[in-house]
Amino acid sequence: MVLYNFKKITVVPSGKDFVDIILSRTQRQTPTVVHKGYAINRIRQFYMRKVKYTQSNFHEKISTILEDFPRLDDIHPFYGELLNHLYDKDHYKLALGQLNTARNLIEKISKDYVRLLKYGDSLYRCKQLKKAALGRMCTVMKRVSPSLAYLEQVRQHMSRLPSIDPNTRTILICGYPNVGKSSFINKITRADVDVQPYAFTTKSLFVGHTDYKYLRWQVIDTPGILDHPLEECNTIEMLSITALAYLRAAVLFVVDLSGSCGYSLAQQASLFHSIRPLFANKPLIIACNKTDLQPIETLPESDALLLQEMKREAAKAGAGLVDGAPPDEEGCLLTMSTMTEEGVIAVKNAACEKLLQQRVEVKMKSKKINDCLNRIHVAVPRQRDQKERPPCIPQAVLDAKVAEAKVLEKRKLEKDLENENGGAGVYSANLHKHYLLLDPDWKEDIMPEIMDGHNIADFIDADILQRLDELEREEEEAAATAQAADEDEDMSDQELTAEETEALLAIRRKKKQILEEHRLKKSTADNKPVMPRKHDHNRQFNTGRMGQHLSSLGLDPGAAVERIRSKSRLGRKRERSAGGGDDYAMDIDQQPTKKMRARSRSLSRPHTEALPGEGYKDSAQKMKAMKIAKKAVKQRNKDARKGEADRVHYNLKPKHLFSGKRGTGKTDRR
């Protein structure tokens, strides 16, 4: 089934735009640079290329347009007629013909000028030739521009035509203006056609789709037809007439019984009779609309007579369609009201059924049917005797069905309950009432989920009681055995006495103290010098303290204190010694020894004199040794000032900074 889709036609540019497009493309896509110094062949080639390129572009574009527009003779006659009525076949053909001629002309121009270019002897001459060629081509196009404009209009309108498949199942709705055709199509399909009280609201064909017996049906709404001869019909009416003429469809002739469309039944009847020849070979149904305003029973006599006549004619036409069936008068005339929606579906069904029958008949008569029939085979059991064997349904099932039907009628639905209790937002359904529990009293119970930091659902078990009993038994046994074995080992003999505990605590305290002091010392390391005695203004380092410390340790301080006191020179007068060699720095012991004397003697000599017991070779060596010793003891200067090790001569003019070119930038600053 080819669906006619006119939306794919390329846009037709106006004359000026056409020219602009082609010329700019030539400008962009061909080489642009040529000098008069080039070889003449090269210049000629350059310009020939331009001319040929322009011509080929024109050719291409015009060809696409010509191919995209449908040829009225090649398409389905329905569309051909439609397009004819809408756009005038002659004008259409003329426009396309003009475009074709333009194409040929352009080709000729290009051929001529290329021939001339072959003999161009200078750049200037070639350039002029090319200019002339392009200019002529553009003028040709400009002459054709009205056709182009017309074709663009046609294209735009065509793309908006409804896509009607002329070969599929179709229902055509026709009748006088304002009878209710558009309302009918709105009711049975999803089409949204304008419905207004004035005549000729529908100005073109509208398509809707509906379903019947699992098949898709096209429903076409037409503009109303007035009763005058064909020659006097305007474009809009011609649309419906074309549709009637060329589409193989079921025709639904809508009649307005009440006359509220503005035309009497007589006029409608006369229209019916005048377009009757168009209904040949088409299943016809007369639908009487607006029965809510004028029911068919109360129709006046004359109108009823007219209707009868129409019905007879319709039946006669219908008889010709299906062979063997008697003319069915009643099936032709149906009543409906699109306002109240009664009878609408019946009308649609009737129309669809009639068309279906006709189509099936046609298919049956065609040759292709045998292929279909060959594939279908219905197996029927062969009758072996005359016994009747009807289907057997047990009585219980039949009774149950009846009872169920009764229950369904009487049952109160949840929806009703909801509506009673305040509607959707207010009422919330009680889902608990359908629960199946052992005891129906439990239906409204709320089960606890959490207790004491546990999920209750994790504990639920059918035999929880039994397991709990086991647990308790275990517990009792464990308790009993625990009591039997429960006796603390008597460790009173290992306990420390009170004094020993005291000593232990003192030890711990002392350890802590030592640790703290060590940590302090460690953190300050070499930074904190030992306070020399001469700065001990508070006289903290005295014998009293020492004595206390010693006695706390359990020693007798008397001897130590005495010794110190005798040796210290604080508070003693300095006495010059007679010998002049006695150093008063030296404390006099109660029992001086000779050894000490010898030491003091050595101090009265020059300090560089190498004495025999000291181990020096000569005084020079001793001097050197003393010097080295002094140096080794020298304290490091921690004032953060430059020291001996810091007198380093750096490279004040490194070569890489004072020579060479830079990678980027200037070198006027170094």
184-203: contacts with another protein (CB under 8 A): none
Choose between 266 and 555: whose C-beta lies nearer to another protein: 555
Q: What is the footprint of another protein within residues 371-400 (CB under 8 A)? A: none
Choose between 118 and 565: whose C-beta lies nearer to another protein: 565
Choose between 494 and 664: whose C-beta lies nearer to another protein: 494
Q: How far is the CB of 605 from another protein (least distance, A)?
A: 20
What amino acid is encoded at 561 in this protein? Answer: V
Element (H, E) at 172: strand 170-175
According to the binding rule CB under 8 A, does residue 603 interact with another protein? no
Taking the C-alpha atoms of residue 20 and residue 25, their distance in angstroms, rounded to an integer, is: 8
Question: Measured in Å, how far apart are the chain's first and last C-alpha atoms?
Answer: 88
Q: What is the footprint of another protein within residues 11-30 (CB under 8 A)? A: none
Residue among 198, 459, 650, 658 that touches another protein (CB under 8 A):
459
Q: How far is the CB of 458 from another protein (least distance, A)?
A: 5
3-state secondary structure of 256: strand
Q: What is the footprint of another protein within residues 410-449 (CB under 8 A)? A: 435-439, 442, 445, 447-449
Contacts within 8 Å (CB) and 24+ apart, 85-88: 85/235, 85/238, 85/239, 85/242, 86/157, 86/235, 86/239, 87/154, 87/157
Q: For 484-518, give the secondary structure using H, E and C.
A: HHCCCCCCHHHCCCHHHHHHHHHHHHHHHHHHHHH
Choose between 454 and 655: whose C-beta lies nearer to another protein: 454
Residue among 277, 423, 425, 453 that touches another protein (CB under 8 A):
453
Asked if residue 628 lies in contact with residue 639, where contact means CB atoms within 8 angstroms, the answer is no
Choose between 551 and 621: whose C-beta lies nearer to another protein: 551
Q: How far is the CB of 534 from another protein (least distance, A)?
A: 22
According to the binding rule CB under 8 A, does residue 67 interact with another protein? no
Judged by CB under 8 A, which stretch of 248-256, 289-297, 363-371, 589-597 contacts another protein? 589-597
Choose between 597 and 605: whose C-beta lies nearer to another protein: 597
Judged by CB under 8 A, which stretch of 14-22, 180-188, 487-495, 522-530 contacts another protein? 487-495
Asked if residue 617 lies in contact with residue 610, where contact means CB atoms within 8 angstroms, the answer is yes
Q: How far is the CB of 554 from another protein (least distance, A)?
A: 3
Pair of tokens at residue 212: 């019947």
CA distances from 83 to 62, 266, 540 (A): 21, 33, 127
Residue among 215, 364, 402, 504 that touches another protein (CB under 8 A):
504
Q: What is the footprint of another protein within residues 529-568 (CB under 8 A)? A: 544, 547-548, 550-558, 561-562, 565-566
According to the binding rule CB under 8 A, does residue 495 interact with another protein? yes
Q: How far is the CB of 457 from another protein (least distance, A)?
A: 7
Give alpha helix (H) positions in 230-300: 235-246, 265-274
Choose between 97 and 440: whose C-beta lies nearer to another protein: 440
Taking the C-alpha atoms of residue 323 and residue 573, their distance in angstroms, rounded to an integer, is: 164
Pair of tokens at residue 168: 């599929």
Which candidate, 287, 380, 361, 278, places its Cα nearest to that of 321? 361
Find where tokens 């082609």 sit.
22
Residue among 412, 434, 573, 670 that touches another protein (CB under 8 A):
573
Q: How far is the CB of 514 from another protein (least distance, A)?
A: 8
Residue among 2, 491, 652, 657 that touches another protein (CB under 8 A):
491
DSSP code per residue over 337-400: BTTTTBTHHHHHHHHHHHHHHHHHHHHHHSTTHHHHHHH-----PPP-SS--------HHHHHH
Choose between 454 and 647: whose C-beta lies nearer to another protein: 454
Residue among 8, 454, 634, 661 that touches another protein (CB under 8 A):
454
Pair of tokens at residue 10: 């390329």
Pair of tokens at residue 267: 């006029």
Q: How far is the CB of 342 from another protein (least distance, A)?
A: 53
Q: What DSSP state is assigned to residue 573?
A: P
Q: How far is the CB of 505 from another protein (least distance, A)?
A: 10
Interface with another protein: number of residues (CB under 8 A): 74
Asked if residue 84 lies in contact with residue 72, where contact means CB atoms within 8 angstroms, the answer is yes
Choose between 273 and 601: whose C-beta lies nearer to another protein: 601
According to the binding rule CB under 8 A, does residue 450 interact with another protein? yes
Choose between 211 and 562: whose C-beta lies nearer to another protein: 562
Residue among 94, 325, 468, 620 that touches another protein (CB under 8 A):
468
DSSP code per residue over 388-453: -------HHHHHHHHHHHHHHHHPPPHHHHHHHTT-TTT----GGGG---SSGGGGG-----EETT
